[in-house]
Structure 1
Amino acid sequence: MRVKKPVTGTKQCLIWDREHETMPRPKLEKLQLERLQRTVERCYERVPFYREKMDELGVKPEDIVTLKDVSKLPFTTKYDLRENYPFKMFAEPMERVVRLHASSGTTGKPVVAGYTAKDLDTWAELIARVYTSGGVTNADVVHNAYGYGLFTGGMGFHYGAEKVGATIVPVSGGLTKRQVMLWQDFGASVLCSTPSYALVLAEQAAEMGIDTARDLNLRVGFFGAEPWTLEMKKEIEEKLNIEAFDIYGLTELIGPGVSSECPYHDGLHINEDHFLVETIDPDTGEVLPPGTPGEMVLTSLTKEAFPVLRFRTRDRTIINQETCACGRTTARMMRVTGRTDDMLIIRGVNVFPSQIESVILSVPHLEPQYVIVVDRGSTHMDDLEVLVECSEDLYNKGAEAMKEAQEHLSRELHQVLALNARIKVVGPKTLQRSEGKAKRVVDLRELSH
């Protein structure tokens, strides 16, 4: 078994591509402008959607003279991409497209992403940056529990691991007990998965009597593809005895690899030589200055097959352009505080699922396994119900102890949300588990009456 490095107490800041990740900002912005101008020209010439939208706005490629001119360009939304399903947004003929990925398409047609051979090489380089930011080298064994297939997570992390020379174990999701066995047998030091599945794996390890600090070689993990709070991050680190790194990506941009944390965990470094970032007022579309909370908008700068201009991510964050203590000069996005499209409006109150999760994990003996159900009852008023699992210890104490935890959570949620929610604390392993992205919210209002 390879020597397990310490989880805390060190700030070993490895950098994969020092030339671009530590580039002085004036030089970086010059590179961004050159790449933006080429991208806009290609989009205008090769993608009918962008030509039509730019013509409507009276914008030509030659109008992009400075980086601020990006605000003249049209926004791209998920709806636009689905309307042009499957390949109408591509800037390259299918003869040059060597791979396709797609989003889940749970609310309609999926978003389809195409990649040229150069795009795939770029993607592997970006994930190599992610791994290296977490201290991963060719001495590591990477257990990849992200889903393989049309979902971008599995393949992205696979080829990035090979790029840094690490040993990749392409497990994908499912067969949870077998995965924990492989941790032990193969000496995995790195875990890649959704945060919710990491907790499922931790739960399985505990059931098997495994002491994660003593019996496993795991030391770091890279988690993303779904919202997760700092409280959940702490749970993962404690239960698996690892250092957890937040990563960010979208199928619409390339997949994972848009940004990731360094050992200082003070925001996620955006790979700005490949992605131009803005924040906007989600209601007006007005561009906001760095440091101001807003909706993040991203433009791809180097993609060949599937370039995207000003994609509205719907993710709320703050962009910090100050140089990080790790030495990287790229801007950092602060942890996403919610999405403009997953915000629930309940009786006129804006509620983000992440707010509810934070409160749940602040109450002792409640587990990060929960479901939020929104419905309309006979009064036609919004009804919020939260089902959450308790720990084995609390469950063994009986119904009275579970009722006290239920009342505790109810009080805490009311203070945070100014809403009364029906709380139901249930026993361990009562709620359905997910091997990929967890389904946390069930909104039944459209089906009611």
Structure 2
Amino acid sequence: MFFNEEFETLPRQALAALQLKRLQVVLERVYANVPFYKSSFDKAGVKPGDVKGLEDLQRFPFTTKQDMRDSYPYGLFATPMEEIVRIHASSGTTGKPTVVGYTSKDIDVWAELMARSFVSAGAHKGDIIHNAYGYGLFTGGLGAHYGAERLGASVIPMSGGNTKKQIMIMQDFGSTVLTCTPSYSLFMAEAAHEEGIDFRSLKLRVGIFGAEPWSEAMRAEIEDKLNLSAIDIYGLSEIMGPGVAIECIQGKKGLHIWEDHFIAEIIDPETGQRLEEGERGELVITTITKQGIPLIRYRTRDITSITTEPCICGRSHARIMRMSGRSDDMLIIRGVNVFPSQIESVLVGIEGVEPHYLLIVERKDNLDTLEIQVEVDERLFSDEIKVLQKLSRRIEKEIKDMLGITCTAKLVEPKSIQRSEGKAKRVFDNRKL
């Protein structure tokens, strides 16, 4: 099932030809209209006319989040403000937010790609979509909302928070599709359990979860507790918002990135060199239809790989693999590179451990230390001290065996770790690096 079969199933050769044509146009446009890009291209000794094939894109310089902050608020806009109909800003926690503007055509494209994404996830016109992504400057809520309306489904604009009411609405309104962050979905399941409500009694069929990295183990946990099929969606405010890429319900083996609107590359985050298909590195995206704020070779900092192997769903667009974290979220502990999602995968596989944890990194006597605070099952917490000690040792051993790092596991009582209704903050790195 497709939303726009013609473009979703374009042969690879036709897709590449379309990408090249659109790339050439957008490069000319930003060079003429955005002083940052004119200066950046000139410094790199490249001109838009140098692009004769898609491989020529790698000659152009990267755009970074810092470039966007340095151009705050409207310095990277390629369109006069009278043509901008919507402004969003990132949820960044440091520095100034990254600001993005949309023309009416940008909003139209976004709605189309989100509608495609919903259909890929198994949603259809008859669905009731419970949208618990945050509305406001964050792109999640309105992105999903417009896509649901474009699909023709019924959308409930709940936004985040007020969890008990969320559960009541899902019950009473017969919601069939849930959209929110994966961590918030588990928080909902926990809250429902406390209220004596079984998610199996709801009509939910599909959950579309994004905005933070999550593991296959967490997917299994969500599917078990919420009784639905959990689908990974990817997007970022700088590029568009949600709907840049999504898993198809038939495969769940990578997220289709809509290549008629984006060009994806994988680079070595250290050297900036482009990597081959299948190699894991940092995802770089070029927008080729965006009018308000086109971005050339934007470094997402998200770590993944890409494949163009055919998918059983029939979509021809390349797939990016599940994100293993971000290059700037990566922890280096005594020389070992590790992502929070890798630790999560180990924790979720241990019986008696809840999927709520914090990673505390310190430096003591010039050595890095990692403390993992993790909630334990209600039944276990009241058990004998030796049982808890045994569980702590098991966690420490499995982390060491699987990831090669030494840690201290600290078991904490159920519900003592702060819950998030948006992106979960898992890591507190207190080292002075």
Residue in structure 1 matched with residue 142 of structure 2 by the alignment: 155
Residue in structure 2 matched with residue 221 of structure 1 by the alignment: 207
Residue in structure 2 matched with residue 433 of structure 1 by the alignment: 419
Residues 1:347 and 1:254: Cα distance change in structure 2 (over 3 Å): same
Find the aligned partners of 1:349 and 1:227 in 2 and give their Cα distance: 20
The SS at the match of 1:123 is helix
2:111 aligned partner, one-letter code: A
Find the aligned partners of 2:345 and 2:30 in 1 and give their Cα distance: 42
Shift of the alpha carbon at 1:201? 0.3
Residue in structure 1 matched with residue 87 of structure 2 by the alignment: 100
Question: 91, 107, 112: which one pairs with 1:125?
Answer: 112
Question: 215, 220, 223: which one pairs with 1:237?
Answer: 223
Residue in structure 2 matched with residue 300 of structure 1 by the alignment: 287
Once structures 1 and 2 are overlaid, which stretch shifts more, 284-293 or 309-318? 284-293
Shift of the alpha carbon at 1:398? 4.0
Does 2:157 align with 1:180?
Answer: no
The SS at the match of 2:337 is strand
1:168 aligned partner, one-letter code: V
Shift of the alpha carbon at 1:27? 0.6
1:172 aligned partner, one-letter code: S
Residue in structure 1 matched with residue 178 of structure 2 by the alignment: 191
1:67 aligned partner, one-letter code: L
Shift of the alpha carbon at 1:275? 0.3
Find the aligned partners of 1:353 and 1:367 in 2 and give their Cα distance: 15
Does 2:214 align with 1:203?
Answer: no
Find the aligned partners of 1:330 and 1:349 in 2 and give their Cα distance: 34
Shift of the alpha carbon at 1:211? 1.8
1:441 aligned partner, one-letter code: V
Residue in structure 2 matched with residue 6 of structure 1 by the alignment: none
Identical counterparts, % of pairs: 55
Alignment of 1:418-429 (within 5 A): 418-429=404-415
Question: 65, 80, 96: which one pairs with 1:78?
Answer: 65
The SS at the match of 1:201 is helix
The SS at the match of 1:445 is coil
Find the aligned partners of 2:85 and 2:432 in 1 and give their Cα distance: 40
Find the aligned partners of 2:283 and 2:405 in 1 and give their Cα distance: 29
Residue in structure 2 matched with residue 10 of structure 1 by the alignment: none
Alignment of 1:381-396 (within 5 A): 381-396=367-382
Find the aligned partners of 1:345 and 1:320 in 2 and give their Cα distance: 28
Structure 1: 5+ residue runs without aligned partners?
A: 1-13
Does 2:383 align with 1:397?
Answer: yes
The SS at the match of 2:350 is coil
2:431 aligned partner, one-letter code: R
Shift of the alpha carbon at 1:348? 2.0
The SS at the match of 2:432 is helix
1:439 aligned partner, one-letter code: K
Residue in structure 2 matched with residue 7 of structure 1 by the alignment: none
The SS at the match of 1:91 is coil
1:168-221 per-residue CA deviation (whole Å, 9 max, x = no partner) reads 1111111111110111110000000000000000111111111222x2000101
Once structures 1 and 2 are overlaid, which stretch shifts more, 187-196 or 342-351? 342-351
Find the aligned partners of 2:93 and 2:86 in 1 and give their Cα distance: 21
2:373 aligned partner, one-letter code: L
Find the aligned partners of 1:172 and 1:95 in 2 and give their Cα distance: 29
Find the aligned partners of 2:149 and 2:290 in 1 and give their Cα distance: 21
1:384-418 per-residue CA deviation (whole Å, 9 max, x = no partner) reads 11100111232243433222211110111111232
Find the aligned partners of 1:362 and 1:132 in 2 and give their Cα distance: 31
Residue in structure 2 matched with residue 361 of structure 1 by the alignment: 348
Q: What RMSD over aligned residues (CA atoms) do the two structures have, in Å? A: 1.1
Residue in structure 1 matched with residue 232 of structure 2 by the alignment: 246
Residue in structure 1 matched with residue 401 of structure 2 by the alignment: 415
Shift of the alpha carbon at 1:331? 0.2
Shift of the alpha carbon at 1:235? 0.5
The SS at the match of 2:235 is strand
Shift of the alpha carbon at 1:286? 1.3
1:332-391 per-residue CA deviation (whole Å, 9 max, x = no partner) reads 0011122211111112221211111111111111111000011123x2321211100111
Does 2:15 align with 1:28?
Answer: yes
1:117 aligned partner, one-letter code: S
Find the aligned partners of 1:327 and 1:431 in 2 and give their Cα distance: 43
Does 2:257 align with 1:262?
Answer: no
Aligned residues: 432
Shift of the alpha carbon at 1:429? 0.3
Structure 1 ranges of 4+ moved more than 4 A: none
Find the aligned partners of 1:382 and 1:109 in 2 and give their Cα distance: 30
The SS at the match of 1:339 is coil
1:273 aligned partner, one-letter code: D
Contact 2:121 2:246 in 1 (8 A): no
Shift of the alpha carbon at 1:427? 1.4
Find the aligned partners of 1:333 and 1:313 in 2 and give their Cα distance: 13
Find the aligned partners of 2:384 and 2:144 in 1 and give their Cα distance: 44
Find the aligned partners of 1:324 and 1:419 in 2 and give their Cα distance: 36
Contact 2:305 2:321 in 1 (8 A): yes
Find the aligned partners of 2:295 and 2:28 in 1 and give their Cα distance: 12
Find the aligned partners of 2:305 and 2:48 in 1 and give their Cα distance: 29
Shift of the alpha carbon at 1:296? 1.2
Find the aligned partners of 1:403 and 1:308 in 2 and give their Cα distance: 52
1:430 aligned partner, one-letter code: S
Shift of the alpha carbon at 1:444? 1.0
Find the aligned partners of 2:49 and 2:254 in 1 and give their Cα distance: 35
Shift of the alpha carbon at 1:256? 0.6
1:8-37 per-residue CA deviation (whole Å, 9 max, x = no partner) reads xxxxxx211111110001111110001000
Question: 302, 312, 317: which one pairs with 2:304?
Answer: 317
Shift of the alpha carbon at 1:61? 1.0
